Amino acid sequence: MFLGVESVSFDTLKYVNKAPSVSNYLSNLMDNIQIFRDNGIRLKISTIIGFPYEGIGDIQRTVDFVLSLREEGIDANTGPIVVYPGSLMWNMYEKKQIKLRKILNPRIRRNYAGLFASLFEDINYFVPNNFLPEHKFLSQEELESVIEEGLRLIRRHRGAYE
């Protein structure tokens, strides 16, 4: 079973309208994970970091969530947000509510983070994997550094599922 959790940050989940009640969403998420595990259903859980309003603590909570799932033997991962055409974030970009900035650090591109093969490395035009939304509180360099550190921690951790 694949679950796209996005984040475990209350504010981030509100920002992306993940659920009408974020507290219920998080509670139900943990209950459902346990139900799946109790019934022998293998899980793959994906999260995202780097939303425009996420603080460093929000990113760290999501990284910690992934690490705790890996400790329990669940296949969990995270990667930087990708703003796909047609998505909520893309619509915000088109309305000039957010800006996209080219990723300077190649180690945090989504294709290096684990969900995509390096299919787009040599393409010189716009590829969503190579851009992050401009952050409201962190400089591009700070944001990329925080994301890289989170990815490094997760890559270094070997979960029981491996």
48-106 tens-digit pLDDT: 999 998 999 999 999 999 999 999 889 999 989 888 878 888 889 999 999 999 888 87
Confidence of residue 31 (pLDDT cuts 50, 70, 90): very high
Q: Mean pLDDT score of the chain, rounded to an integer?
A: 83
Q: Is the pLDDT of residue 20 over 90?
A: no
Q: Residue 137 is encoded by which pair of tokens?
A: 């509180």
Taking the mean position of all CA atoms in its chain, how far away is CA 159?
Answer: 18
According to the model, what pLDDT value does residue 45 have?
A: 94
CA distance 155 to 24: 30
Q: Lowest mean pLDDT of 61-70, 73-82, 132-141, 150-159, name the range.
A: 150-159
